[in-house]
Structure 1
Amino acid sequence: MHTIDHSIDNKALVQRIHAELDKGNGQAFIDSLADDASWTLEGSTPWSRTYQGKQAIREELIRPLFAQFAGPYVSKTECIVAEGDRVVVLFSGDVPTKAGKRYNNRYCYVYRLEGGQVKALTEYFDTALVERALDAPTAHAG
């Protein structure tokens, strides 16, 4: 039994996602998430944990994060490397916060794809900048 190499399709999918993110459009990213996707933010920041499921990712991570931004979040993709079901992206982002700070982080995203969807994402980032520029997420009620 041989496995089919889907790394080309996976790389193309992630290239499309990040091409849209570079225009300030996060919809392609949201659309690509499997319902049971997980997103792990590494480190020991107040934001650092695994967000389990598309709904939790939207409500507990994306919504409270973007609520702090004073303008559109635009990223700049630097490099995409793919092998098998993993795609790694190096990129940066820049946005002013409503508190008047500059959130200009650099990231390494490690995607794991399955069936043309994002099943797992691990994010590495400048944790010291998160502590300086962002407020902690508000405690999720219920």
Structure 2
Amino acid sequence: MSTTSTTTTDANRQRMRQVMAELDKGNGKPFVDAMADDFSWTIPGDTPWSRTYSGKQVVLGELLRPLYAQFATPYVSTTRRVMADGDMVIIEFEGRVTTKAGKAYNNRYCYVCRMEGGQMKELMEYFDTALVSAALEAPSSPALAA
């Protein structure tokens, strides 16, 4: 591995370790700050939440705000692993929260992030899709809201 690649790997790993350490304390601001303006977040599968959210403002408005609006308790995460190779960072963590409907939404996640210039450019999120369908209400469709 070249020195540049090692430096990039180390910088990206450290950046996301810091971001996730803050998220684990309940501070989501560094996570949002780490998103590039043209950031995209993809949720594969066939849940009502599954699609690619393109652009930081779309991620905030169509994914994160509707998601957090369903939570009755503060979201608590526990990061298990942060691994990096060049511009790719893999984050393994768990989240716990109770929804306003009284359902436990305790999921395990794997984020695969592509970094550029210290910012997240792309995120692919893997999780228990059956739990998402059972515990969360479907988000409103952006097309219907317009």
* Structure 2 CA distance for aligned equivalents of residues 111 and 58 of structure 1: 17
Structure 1 114/3 Cα, relative in aligned 2: closer, same or farther at 3 Å?
A: farther
Q: Please list the CA deviations of residues 24-55 of structure 1 after superposition, one character each: whole Å capped at 9, or x if unmatched.
A: 11110000100000000111100010000000
**Aligned counterpart for 1:130 among listed residues 117, 129, 132:** 132
SS at 2:102's partner residue? coil
* Structure 2 CA distance for aligned equivalents of residues 82 and 111 of structure 1: 9
SS at 1:68's partner residue? coil
Residue 74 of structure 1: aligned partner: 76
Residue 50 of structure 1: aligned partner: 52
* Structure 2 CA distance for aligned equivalents of residues 51 and 20 of structure 1: 23
Aligned length: 141
TM-score, with length taken from structure 2: 0.94
Asked whether 1:118 is paired with 2:120, we answer: yes
2:137 maps to a residue whose letter is D
2:28 maps to a residue whose letter is G
Structural mapping, 1:1-142, within 5 Å: 4-5=4-5, 6-140=8-142, 141-142=145-146
Percent identical across equivalent pairs? Answer: 59
* Structure 1 CA distance for aligned equivalents of residues 124 and 3 of structure 2: 25
* Structure 1 CA distance for aligned equivalents of residues 48 and 119 of structure 2: 28
* Structure 2 CA distance for aligned equivalents of residues 44 and 92 of structure 1: 21
* Structure 2 CA distance for aligned equivalents of residues 139 and 121 of structure 1: 21
* Structure 1 CA distance for aligned equivalents of residues 83 and 30 of structure 2: 19
Q: Please list the CA deviations of residues 29-87 of structure 1 after superposition, one character each: whole Å capped at 9, or x if unmatched.
A: 00010000000011110001000000000000000000000011110001111101000
TM-score, with length taken from structure 1: 0.96
Instruction: Note the residue ranges of structure 1 that are not aligned, 5 or more in a row.
Output: none
SS at 2:48's partner residue? coil
2:79 maps to a residue whose letter is T
SS at 1:96's partner residue? coil
